[in-house]
Amino acid sequence: MDKAETWDFCAPEYETLALPVTVPCITKLLEQVSILPVTVSTAQTIKAIDIAGGAGFLSTLLGEAYSKAGLLEKVTILSSDFSPKMVEFTERCFAIRWGI
């Protein structure tokens, strides 16, 4: 089994298992580099590349934070992963959240 196949196999359980650990860490990181919280007065224009984006936790956090602040036009996110199943999962999540 190659690496992409391994992550494809993990994709169905990834959100359930990784979300509780990963999201708080990503949130803390984004707070430490002054990207979060996003407000009208503090928002930076962001261009993010999420390499090995997995289930899209980083992309989703950024998108939701900017969207809630009414500043979605100030963020551009490119997310990629070598696992087709992870990419499909992320696409489904974005479609549900934002109708993309």
Instruction: Provide the residue ranges of all domains of the chain, joining segments of one domain with +.
Output: 3-98
| Predicted pLDDT of residue 91 | 87
Mean pLDDT of all residues in 34-57: 91
Pull the structure tokens for residue 59. Answer: 């992309």
pLDDT digits (tens, 9 = 90+) for 24-45: 999 999 999 999 999 998 888 9
Q: What CATH number has the domain spanning 3-98?
A: 3.40.50.150
Token reading at 90? 């992320």
H helix or E strand, kind and range, residue 74: none
pTM confidence score: 0.80
What is the C-alpha separation between 84 and 45, in angstroms, rounded? 29
DSSP structural state of residue 77: E
68: number of CA atoms within 13 Å, CB side? 10
Residues 65 and 37: their CA atoms lie apart, in Å, by 7
